[in-house]
Amino acid sequence: MFNRSNSKRKMKKIFQWEEYLNWKKMTKEQKLYFKRACLFPFLVYIVYVFLNQYSLAILLLLGLYFLIRFKNRNKLDK
């Protein structure tokens, strides 16, 4: 079912938590990936709080923008 004859091919490791536990042996690239993975939930939380607080204002501004755009388009057609 799977072609296992090509064992020279390098595969990218996705789940490498065992390697992340040994910080001193990690490469700079692995350290950077780990830091990004740890900071991503904070970024998601900040975006969530921002959208939760200002979603109504954003929707009103978008609605006003499209309303003005629609009215100006009708004026140009006449």
- Exposure letters 25-39 (e unless 16+ CB within 10 A, then b): ebeeeeeeebeeeee
* Enclosing domain of residue 46: 37-78
Q: What is the pLDDT of residue 7?
A: 62
Task: Specify the number of domains making up the chain.
Answer: 1
- pTM value is 0.55
CA dihedral 63, 66, 69, 73 (to 10 degrees): -130
Count Cα atoms within 13 angstroms, Cβ side, for 68: 6
Q: What is the pLDDT of residues 49-67, one digit of tens each?
A: 999 999 999 999 999 999 9
Name the residue with tokens 């938590």.
17
| Residue at 66 is within a domain | yes
| Residue at 51 is within a domain | yes
φ, ψ (nearest 5 deg) of residue 35: -65, -40
| Residue at 23 is within a domain | no
DSSP type of residue 9: -
| Residue at 31 is within a domain | no
| Residue at 78 is within a domain | yes
